[in-house]
Structure 1
Amino acid sequence: MKEKFFRGVVKHKKFIVIGFLVFALISILCKQFVSVNYDMNSYLPDDTASTVSIEVMEKEFGGGIPNARVMVSRVTIPEAMELKDKIKNIDGVDDVTWLDDVADITIPIDTLDKDTVTTYYKDSNALFSVTINEDKTMEAVEDIRTLIGDNNAMSGSAVDTAIATESTTDEIKMIVLIAVPFTLLVLILTTTSWFEPIILLVSIGIAIVINAGTNLIFGEISFVTNAAGNILQLAVSLDYSVFLLHRYKEIKGEGLEPEEAMIQALCKSTSSILSSGVTTVIGFLALAVMKFKIGPDLGLALAKGIALSLITVFIFAPGVILYCSKLIDKTEHRSFMPSFDGVGKLVKRLIMPSVILFAVIIVPSYLASINNDYYYGSSKIFGLETKLGQDTKNIEDEFGKSNNYVLMVPRGDFDTEENLSNELKSIKEVTSIVSYVDKAGAEVPMEYVDEDILSKLISDNYSRMIINVKTDYEGKEAFSVVEKIRSIAKEYYGDKYYLAGQTVSTYDLMDTITEDMISVNLLSIGAVFIVLVISMRSISIPAILVLAIETAIWFNLSIPYYTETPLFYISYLIISSIQLGATVDYAILMTERYIDFRKEFHKQEAIKKTVSVVMVSILTSGTVMTGVGFFLGYVSSHGVLSQLGMLLGRGTICSLAIVVFVVPGLLYILDSFILRKKKVVFSKKEDINLEVEEVI
């Protein structure tokens, strides 16, 4: 059945190649219509308390939460008022809050409450709290920057989103310009024909283009998928084409005609390629169970991409390779790779020390990996080396940390609102509250209040309080304030209140993705294990391979713990699935070739030959994945993407080290048990001779 299918693929190669090229052109056009979302908080589940609060607020008041801080230096109060009006008139700015909204600035400023004044005006510096419409974030942030100039500062989630959108788009182009030539160089070094690298890049490139275009079915993708999806697909699935090409050349070298050699290569490599591909797809699909929507977004897009890569390798690549067979032969060159017999001998000598070291690091690595410090939101995405990082520091140095929450309660009972406001002010981190009862007083009838002020604070159903808090956007202190405000509001209004804000969303984000951790990890490990059990018809081998790669993941994630480097939690979750799905391929290839060689050689010789043979294949893919990861890490200014890249690069090295040095040792130690389960027949005489050699 399998051979019949592949004979059909080879026979109809012309129509297949043309069909794929046409589909790729259509996909290029479709990609232009795929939009990208850079707002992390928008990926919270729809039923999250903070998400529901934002929806209610937008419906009742027609505006969102203050999401930007704008500091202008060396201005008088009249100049600040004039600037406030100019900012407010910018298209995309829904509201601007300043000192005049919380105090009467017509009286001498020295007579006003000092803490209230210095929250908004200090040493001739004015700090405005701005609400920017999420549909016009880019334009509004750019216009505000033009108005205030580069010498002044702005920060906040809206600015994060605008800068992430602009910088990531440019950085993606730079990463591609680096990653593609790097991949080409690696392929040139690891193949024996000048034209083979072109074929491999074309094959995987078609799959990447089709995947990017078919993302249109999602309508919108996350910034993580947009930035990392293509290069992750390149790095993860490149080895499928490499495995096929190597097997084709190996069989063709035995004297078969190209088409027959391709059919046999497809038949013989199907098991290893399909096992590798399916485990990778499963690893990515595990992200789809996350409640935090970036997980399903990236997981589904990458799973689709790997599936398309597999289809491309089995259906499109054979035709391309056969059409270019003569070019491959004509451009043959000597191998640039050294013989890896020495590595095989080294691994053979280090079998026991490697396994012992592996056993020692398992528990400490696991414990360290689950005890890292984390960032959950977007407040730490841009470091001090960026303009936004510097702006944020300048604002905080002058005015301290500041954060805005919006609390909505049922309108009508102003006495209760006044009591609520007074109790909220008793929270030491609360610096000011803008509300109807604070602005006008509970005893002042609404008809005597300015309509513009009234519309911001009272709707048909709710009264709104804008609470200014002197904390960072996330962390223990900030999350403690959220809990205190929710507790006080619940005391007065039960469950009939709504609380929104960047910190509130980040708090809910923390709850959401922390819950995701167990389900994602268990599902990815369990699913990969089951796929391997089915494909290998063994329980012991999958257990060995999964434990080996999981240990590499734990070791990778333990490094931030020992270096006291906080992780973005979303990077932590994503890398766990990606590293497992992407690098278990190397362990599968190592194991299958070992079992093949074990039929002919005693176990030490089988280990040496296995390592020697598979090194080129796994180094090709591993080097590309390591390089692509580090390129993403160094080039991207976006903290999540940069950290994800560094974890990918370092994680691949960890996996390679364990696959090359530890997996052979585990196979060696458990050799009899594994082969008995696999029902592999081997020469007992050779093993008797080996035992004599080992004694000697």
Structure 2
Amino acid sequence: MERLAKGIIHHRRIVMALVIALLIASAFFLIGVDINYKLSDYLPESAPSTGSIDVMEEHFAQGIPNLNVLVPDVSIMEALEYKERFLNLEGVYDVMWLDDTVDLKVPIEQQEEETVESWYKDGDALFRVSVETEQVYDNVEAVRQEAKEGSKLSGEAANEAAVQQASTDEISKILMYVIPLVLVVLLITTSSWFEPVLFLVTIGAAILINEGTNIIFGEISYVTQATSAILQLAVSMDYAIFLLHRFLRYREEGQPIEKAMQHAMVSSVSAITASATTTVFGFLALTLMDFRIGVDLGRVLAKGVFISYLSVVILLPILTIYTAKLIDKTHHRSFIPSFDRFAKGVMAICKPLAILLILVILPSFFAQQNNTFIYGSSGMHTEGSQIKEESDAIKEQFGQAQQMAILLPIGDEAREKDFVDELETIEYITSVTAYANTVGTQIPYEFVTDPSVDQLRSEEYSRVIITANTSDEGERAFETVEAIRETADQYYEESYHLVGESVINYDLMDTITADHGKVTFAAIIGIGLVIALTFRSLSLPIILILTIQGAIWINLGLPYIRGMDLNFIGYQIISAVQLGATVDYGILFGETYMQRRTFLEKRESIQQTISETAPSIITPAGILIIAGNALGVISSNGVISQLGMILGRGALISVTMVLLFLPALLLVFDGLIQKTTFSGKKKGTMKNETSE
């Protein structure tokens, strides 16, 4: 590392030019990174609905309705006019309304009331529209503009359009709030007014390079787009803080600028590497998910942490050398108070406090296993958002309605008719539209002239449109999907294809549920190995991971205790992210304790460790808390908002566990740690040096 450090410093102008060129290229490449807003695209190839969607798109030009449009206070004739206007819009290929179900030549008073009121009620008309999904935002907005003022939209296409708009508008807004708040934290916790600028420039450059190099993936998910920059900033800032503080210490010893930076780079690189590696392993665990949104987020975040690491060990030294005199001129006294009294207080009550926390951890473990989850697009929007309010208004007026389509192989009209008849008997199914019960099995398809029948037949498949009185997910919706599949299995074994939003959500539930255990296990094993190698200890990794895992259980148990539904994407991601992002706090504490333990008694070692490491732990934790809560408060996307709030709360719980629970564990298991640790006194590392 010494030769590399000398090379970077000696050739700093060339290195700086290369970094600037890379930043310019990354800004250019960033424009070409596509954003995917469809959760269904991240289902594994083995999921039943994945293949079914492909088959339907291949054999039918028109999909099932994906947009509900409520037009208020219209007559029958006016509603028919709106239907025609919607049909004439580019990007709209079908509109279904009451006239597709009943003969409007017969007065509606003489029609079946339940059928009429599913389309037209109290002067409000509900249209089920099929829009192209390639330009979904433009198509949904075109329908909204064409509809009467006061109209309301819901459905899969409306959800996706709202997510696109929110993601585009809110990312810059979130950064506008996060950066000044992080700057305040850094100003308080550093010793120079200019240091925070160096930190933000260093990590900011890494973020831009990471975002631009996402071009290698072609596209990323909207979840990754909205969270990766904020998370990268929050979890990698402490690398920069440590290196610069080490540099300033050597400067205080009287070393010249270049020599001080060279020594800082050499003495800190191993500790920064270990710290970054634990975070990378936490994020890489997400790539084991079958639900590929985890793969998408995990690889981008792991790449981002690695780029932040490179930026800290390459770019920050150069920037620091160029601005060293400015750092000296803007030096100020420390604003962080002493934690000596806090440390004494913790030591006085740490054992009873640990017992209390154990009593909290145990029920939290079981609580987090019994959370109620949201799997699909219904969890995308926060309370109070326009799309949420409009969706609720449509449900209140017309009830819940989900449409699905099932493709059946043609050639046996009698079997198809029997199958359709049995579908109509399934609870919650309100209507079934098929060739067999509209045209009839007696009329060959070749003799039918009505073009609308093309929606129900292709050369290979007969398409059955099913409407169910359920939401897009939940117990009733999933029971209905299971009942349809069971019935189809009886008639067609595995030769049918079922699609629909609730079908996709059912497959999401199956996929994500299976993912959780292996992701958590992989993160624990990977991070545990890094800690074991760092400390050369068998017991310390278990103690440190147990501390953070306890914080995760408390964090994820709170939604159950509060009676809140939890978006499973956030739940799945947070387990690996919180462990990878906050285990550094435990490593910092454990490493400082082990060094103090070589020449102090265990109680005094722990007390000194608390006093010395608390400021170093609170700084990155404070940044993560701010970043998480900014996501939670600002984002109108339910997935992003909940992920942010849980992550911010998790950082707070993690730092609390490290400062209050970990001391008791070290006190109780000190003997075991000493017997199962196989190294002597190690060189000063990142965690110790930051705290000293």
8 Å contact from structure 1 (residues 272, 592) kept in 2:
no
Q: Residue 536 of structure 2 contacts residue 679 of structure 2 at CA under 8 Å; is this kept in 1?
A: no
Contact 1:630-1:645 at 8 Å conserved across structures:
yes
Change in CA separation of 1:340 and 1:14 when aligned onto 2, cut-off 3 Å: farther
Structure 2 distance, partners of 1:278, 1:59, is 45
Letter of the aligned partner of 1:375 in structure 2? I
Query: What is the aligned partner in structure 1 of residue 555 from structure 2?
Result: 556
For residues 603-649 of structure 1, what are the alpha-carbon distances to aligned partners after superposition, in whole Å with 9 as ceiling and x for unaligned? 33322322222222221111110011001001111000000000011
2:317 paired with 1:346: no
Question: TM-score, normalised to structure 2's length?
Answer: 0.96
Deviations, residues 207-233 of structure 1 (Å, cap 9, x unaligned): 111001001111111111100100000
For residue 248 of structure 1, what is the aligned residue in structure 2? Answer: 247
Cα displacement (A) at 1:390 = 1.5
- Once the two structures are TM-superposed, the CA of residue 143 in structure 1 deviates from its matched residue by 0.6
**Is the deviation greater in 556-565 or in 390-399?**
390-399
Which 10-residue stretch deviates more, 109-118 or 169-178? 109-118
Find the residue that maps to 1:135 and give its secondary structure.
coil
Q: Distance in 1 between matches of 2:676 and 2:444?
A: 85
Q: Distance in 1 between matches of 2:283 and 2:328?
A: 38
Offset, 1:294 = 0.7
Shift of 1:680: 6.7
Q: Aligned with 1:131: secondary structure?
A: strand
Paired residue secondary structure (1:203): helix
* Equivalent position of 1:48 in the other structure: 47
- Residue aligning to 2:632: 633
Say if 2:299 is the partner of 1:300: yes
Question: Deviations for 1:584-618, whole angstroms, at most 9, x for unmatched residues?
Answer: 01111111122222233333332232222222222
| 1:349 counterpart letter in structure 2 | A
Matched residue type, 1:182: L
Q: Is the 8 A contact 2:382 2:641 kept in 1?
A: no
Residue 440 of structure 2 aligns to a residue whose secondary structure is coil
Does the 8 A contact of 1:404 with 1:468 survive in 2?
yes
Shift, 1:83, TM fit: 1.3
C-alpha contact (below 8 Å) 1:68/1:156 kept by paired residues:
yes
Q: Tell me, yes or no, if the aligned pair for 1:242 and 1:617 is still in contact at 8 Å.
A: no
User: How many angstroms apart in 1 are the aligned matches of 2:448 and 2:72?
Assistant: 32
What letter is aligned with 1:100?
A: D
Distance, in Å, in 2 between the alignment partners of 1:604 and 1:309 is 37
1:613 alignment counterpart: 612
Aligned to 1:694: none
Q: Distance in 2 between matches of 1:100 and 1:402?
A: 18
Q: Which amino acid aligns with 2:296?
A: D
Counterpart of 1:115? Answer: 114
Of the structure 1 ranges 586-595 and 192-201, higher mean CA displacement relative to structure 2 is found in 586-595
Contact 2:551 2:657 (C-alpha < 8 Å) held by counterparts = yes
Cα 1:534–1:627 shift into 2, 3 Å: same
Cα distance in 1 between the residues matched to 2:394 and 2:132: 22
TM-superposition CA deviations, 1:265-319 (whole Å, max 9, x none): 2233233321111010010001001111110000000000001111111122112
Aligned-residue offset at 1:106: 2.5
Q: Which runs of 5+ in 1 are unaligned?
A: 683-696
Matched, 1:285 2:284: yes
Q: How does 1:220-239 map to 2 (within 5 A)?
A: 220-239=219-238
What does residue range 238-387 of structure 1 map to in structure 2 within 5 Å?
238-387=237-386
1:532-561 per-position Cα deviation (integer Å, ceiling 9, x unaligned): 112221111111111110000001001001
Q: Distance in 2 between matches of 1:672 and 1:424?
A: 67
> What is the CA-CA distance between 1:468 and the residue it aligns to?
0.9
Greater shift, 336-345 or 440-449, is seen at 440-449
CA distance 1:679–1:469, change in 2 (3 Å): closer
* Separation of aligned partners in 1, 2:587 and 2:538: 14
> What's the CA shift for 1:79?
2.0
Letter of the structure 2 residue corresponding to residue 134 of structure 1: T
2:13 is aligned to 14
Flag the 1:638–1:89 CA change in 2: closer, same or farther, 3 A: same
Q: 2: distance between equivalents of 1:97 and 1:421?
A: 20
Return 451-460 or 12-21, whichever deviates more: 12-21
Cα gap change, 1:69 to 1:622, in 2 (>3 Å): same
SS in 2 for 1:379: helix
Match of residue 689 from structure 1: none
- Determine the C-alpha separation between the residues in 2 that align with 1:416 and 1:112: 30
Correspondence 1:585-624 to 2 at 5 A: 585-624=584-623
What does residue 692 of structure 1 align with?
Answer: none
Q: 2 CA distance for matches of 1:674 and 1:244?
A: 29
Amino acid at match of 1:310: Y
Label 1:158 to 1:410 Cα distance change in 2 as closer, same or farther (>3 A): same
Size of the alignment, in residue pairs? 681
Distance 1:626 1:126, change over 3 A: same
What's the Cα RMSD here? 1.6
Matching residue's letter, 2:420: S
**How do 1:79-118 residues align onto structure 2 when only pairs under 5 Å count?**
79-118=78-117
Aligned letter for 1:78?
A: M
**What is the CA distance between 1:659 and its match in structure 2?**
1.1
> Which consecutive unaligned segments of at least 5 residues does structure 2 have?
682-692
Distance 1:457 1:485, change over 3 A: same
Is the 2:427–2:480 Cα contact (8 Å) retained in structure 1? Answer: no
Equivalent position SS for 2:2: helix
Paired residue for 2:689?
none
Task: Please say if residues 400 and 470 of structure 2, whose CA atoms lie closer than 8 Å, have aligned partners that are also in contact.
Answer: yes
8 Å contact kept, 2:240–2:316: yes
Corresponding residue SS for 1:495:
coil
TM-score under structure 1 length normalisation: 0.95
Partner in structure 1 of residue 4 of structure 2:
5
Structure 2 CA distance, aligned partners of 1:228 and 1:97? 38
For 2:375, give the aligned amino acid: Y
In the other structure, the counterpart of 2:687 is none
Check the 8 A contact 2:280/2:302 in 1, yes or no: yes
* Counterpart in the other structure of 1:578: 577
1:431 corresponds to which residue? Answer: 430
Alpha-carbon distance, 1:384 to partner: 4.0
Q: Which moved more, 1:73-82 or 1:194-203?
A: 73-82
The answer to which of 384-393 and 53-62 deviates more is 384-393
Cα deviation code 1:470-518 (max 9, x no counterpart): 1111001100000111111121112111110000000001001111011
What is aligned with 1:420?
419
1:190-247 Cα distance to aligned partner (Å, 9 max, x none): 1111110111111111111100100111111111110010000000000111111222
Counterparts of 1:384 and 1:630, CA distance in 2? 16
Name the SS of the counterpart of 2:129 in structure 1.
strand
| Equivalent residue runs for 1:86-165 within 5 Å | 86-165=85-164
Q: Give secondary structure in 2 for the equivalent of 1:617.
A: helix
After superposition, the Cα gap between the structure-2 partners of 1:343 and 1:630, relative to the gap in structure 1 and judged at 3 Å, is same
Find the residue that maps to 1:472 and give its secondary structure.
coil
What is the Cα deviation at residue 250 of structure 1? 2.4
